[in-house]
Structure 1
């Protein structure tokens, strides 16, 4: 946009079909008002200042709700790492390897049900489905405080995985319907900061909640931790149900009779997305089997998947045992939990910075490569100092590995999203991407084994190898996108020469 006085002119053709279905039938959501009475194909104009006001409301309503959903999502998944420092294994009656098996079942449940969950999201509507999911995993997270024995532990882990599946791709899908492509990397990064904030505060929450086991001995400290954080998730679910709009085409909350945007802003909300991409004219994008098979057969999706697996596997290993590793450096239980939060705060800064740089420069691949290169360098240093007696040095290198592992993941997600040619392909690709992340977490849950404790020489070497592979694949993916764009440019030039005036010239360019 050139300046604030510039006006935008965009023709719209918004269909009247409902944008989502409720669990008992079709909703009757209020449609965006006609741009002129009786004529939905009219033209709308707006200024940069008006558009900024519209985006500001998205930033302060839609994004925070999804952000806090991700925050409690990660708290429910990760609080068990804090529970480990409070005698969780002994109290429940399981071994470390049995614990790893339960963690694998959690991620397996997510992997198997990710695409079915994504289909349900399209069927009943994103806001209803993800609000239900947050409520469900909050309830499971609360009840897992009362697990006992190996069977009970496995049951709670797989139920948590089943209820969590689909939240992240569903939230990313909603974000992609409200923000233009040039705005997406920053917002995706902010969304993923919810994950980092959970990492940053989980240790601090554990520091404050675990002593409740002494003050209120009816439950252990780790049980109070799960009860409190489970209730937090259910509160966020209520906020999602009350406040979250479904899409630019259906911008009012489901239950509360409030209007977030003015009638004119609601028109701009849709029009700016159509101006960014004509595919956004439609208010819904139903998935078909062809959409799923087409995405699965797109080979360019799979390098992004492999990068995510390599990155998250080592992140998952350190995330699960992070407080326990720090405790092993000769820190007490509460101090280890508090110190484990530092990596999350580092992740907040790096994720926001990488997202901002990516959007300002309009490049994705080099940002992902830079992030992975930094993680690789810190892993090499951590490996070399693993036998050091300097506990603060080992602690510092561990949190740097964890803190710099976070930002590349959301940029990789944005990189993949921007290279999808339709909303349907993007929806399936995001489901695959989250499945790959959970596949990586499943791998990571098995890397640090009981027979390799306490130094985990074998496990840490595997982590370094996985980061090395992810770095190599990211470089090759960036190179192939550049080469593909060169081929497209040559083909386009050939068509322009042979078919002058023909509109069917290839316009697609891959985002690098």
Structure 2
């Protein structure tokens, strides 16, 4: 049995390779000489400083991009004279700048640092959101949605990458789930807020749907200005951590083990190697992650953009339809947190995500299967699907962030994954046509098809990673051909690297 010990200013980490080639850690997910209690205390300390502000940022972004659905059932299309597919094109245009600029945005995050980049783009999209309230025609709304997509593009891929800088692989999904739960909370909050704002219709001679954009946009700008004080760059520069706590956390992030992923620091030389960016584009994983994310992205945007219209089509007034979105999103929030917690606790990423895909498929089958329109089943199907959609996304992002290494490859890979996947939102924007109301059977079927493709891709990815891990276990002696620095540089291609399942 061979072993390796890493030198550091903090506690050392001892790793061993047994006769089967399996990497063994003294304490799972932490470092040698540090108790689980102490390690969890440090993580909680990070949680209190990092998670709340990220959740607020993402809640407001999802609230802003989805509020057009609430504004539409309050009369926006009638006021602007939208006809045919014009409303759908206004939804679609958002995703083109959003998707194609995401990889660039993550590189800018690395260069400019999170404390500058994240609040700055939030100020920008808050201004765009506010100005959407003054549009007078189709062209104006189209332009507003384009610039909203452009300014929001850096947030979600930035948040997903940012989490990987603060939390070790085994602790990432629950934190992503807490942040993404804010998206489902945004759906519930959006319905309630739109209901309340609709009562302002006519105040100051302004229609209620315009007030939705004005008030939500101003809220975003105010929150963005405050967030400059609350976003931290990385553990190494965090003043709320003591030097000992920094050492422990940095060792947990990059314990110099044979399973090492990357240097966690944003400004490291590791993060600047262009070959890793090229590797992210060409990696086999990238295309699996893109297809996986596409399947869920179609569903999440179909739900967030059209749920108010779907529920209104069940026979309810616009006001009641806004309120009936709340139980759906509340259940999705609970499901998101529940799945994220147990996925981290059990270490099973893929199996929980497969289960989430199963819920999406079942939900949409319920919505489309009856030969005649049954409003109750449509609502129940959306309810069940939402409970699979929202926890699936943090599961997919945790899995990809766990399995791409080093940092530069992870940053670009995750941006490509989300950029490609988010184009599923562009597709979903056109699934639900006015002429298909109230059943919207075509839209439900299309979402079901893409969710089915995502499910099959997810199962395939799990089986491939399991086979590769077994192969590397069998060839574990190859590790000794490399230095630690070379293993870090190889990232997920290193013979010591094991894919998270």
Q: TM-score, normalised by structure 1?
A: 0.85
Aligned residues: 464
Of 497, 504, 510, 2:499 maps to: 510
Deviation at 1:282, TM superposition (A): 4.4
Q: 1:347 to 1:134 in 2, by over 3 A?
A: same
Q: 1:278 to 1:403 in 2, by over 3 A?
A: closer
Partner in structure 2 of residue 133 of structure 1: 121
1:79–1:226 Cα contact (<8 Å) kept: yes
- Partner Cα separation in structure 2 for residue 438 and residue 314 of structure 1: 11
Deviation at 1:46, TM superposition (A): 5.2
Q: Does 1:331 align with 2:320?
A: no
- Partner Cα separation in structure 1 for residue 400 and residue 181 of structure 2: 19
**Higher mean C-alpha deviation, range 139-148 or range 443-452:** 443-452
- Partner Cα separation in structure 2 for residue 486 and residue 50 of structure 1: 33
1:9–1:46 Cα contact (<8 Å) kept: no
Q: 1:453 to 1:282 in 2, by over 3 A?
A: closer
Q: Does 1:274 align with 2:262?
A: no
- Partner Cα separation in structure 1 for residue 370 and residue 459 of structure 2: 28
Partner in structure 1 of residue 469 of structure 2: 485
Residues 105-184 of structure 1 mapped to structure 2, 5 A cutoff: 105-184=93-172
Deviation at 1:329, TM superposition (A): 0.8
Deviation at 1:178, TM superposition (A): 1.0
- Partner Cα separation in structure 1 for residue 315 and residue 264 of structure 2: 59
Deviation at 1:129, TM superposition (A): 0.7
Q: 1:269 to 1:492 in 2, by over 3 A?
A: closer
> Any idea what SS the aligned residue of 2:445 has?
helix
Q: Structure 1, residues 445-474: CA drift from partner, whole Å, max 9, x if none?
A: 111123433332322222221111111111
- Partner Cα separation in structure 1 for residue 7 and residue 40 of structure 2: 17
Q: 1:183 to 1:501 in 2, by over 3 A?
A: closer
Of 434, 456, 474, 2:418 maps to: 434
- Partner Cα separation in structure 2 for residue 490 and residue 507 of structure 1: 11
> Any idea what SS the aligned residue of 1:341 has?
helix
Residues 12-27 of structure 1 mapped to structure 2, 5 A cutoff: 12=9
Partner in structure 2 of residue 459 of structure 1: 443
Partner in structure 2 of residue 344 of structure 1: 329
2:356–2:387 Cα contact (<8 Å) kept: no
> Any idea what SS the aligned residue of 1:370 has?
helix
Q: Structure 1, residues 363-415: CA drift from partner, whole Å, max 9, x if none?
A: 111111111011111211111237334x3333222222233211111101111
- Structure 2 unpaired stretches of 5+: 11-30, 488-493
Deviation at 1:501, TM superposition (A): 12
Q: 1:454 to 1:388 in 2, by over 3 A?
A: closer
1:340–1:399 Cα contact (<8 Å) kept: no
Partner in structure 1 of residue 8 of structure 2: 11
- Partner Cα separation in structure 1 for residue 266 and residue 108 of structure 2: 17
> Any idea what SS the aligned residue of 1:111 has?
helix
2:262–2:405 Cα contact (<8 Å) kept: no
**Higher mean C-alpha deviation, range 260-269 or range 146-155:** 260-269
Deviation at 1:423, TM superposition (A): 1.0
Q: 1:9 to 1:336 in 2, by over 3 A?
A: same
Q: 1:10 to 1:135 in 2, by over 3 A?
A: farther
Deviation at 1:49, TM superposition (A): 4.0
Q: 1:282 to 1:120 in 2, by over 3 A?
A: closer
Of 229, 247, 253, 2:234 maps to: 247
2:97–2:149 Cα contact (<8 Å) kept: yes
Q: 1:403 to 1:88 in 2, by over 3 A?
A: farther
1:323–1:337 Cα contact (<8 Å) kept: yes
Residues 33-48 of structure 1 mapped to structure 2, 5 A cutoff: 47-48=35-36
Partner in structure 2 of residue 284 of structure 1: 267
- Partner Cα separation in structure 2 for residue 352 and residue 490 of structure 1: 37
2:119–2:227 Cα contact (<8 Å) kept: yes
Partner in structure 1 of residue 25 of structure 2: none
Q: Does 1:385 align with 2:374?
A: no
Q: Does 1:225 align with 2:222?
A: no
Q: C-alpha root-mean-square deviation of aligned residues, in Å?
A: 2.5
Partner in structure 1 of residue 28 of structure 2: none
- Partner Cα separation in structure 2 for residue 112 and residue 242 of structure 1: 30
- Partner Cα separation in structure 2 for residue 294 and residue 109 of structure 1: 24
Partner in structure 2 of residue 236 of structure 1: 223
Residues 175-194 of structure 1 mapped to structure 2, 5 A cutoff: 175-194=163-182
Of 402, 405, 410, 1:421 maps to: 405
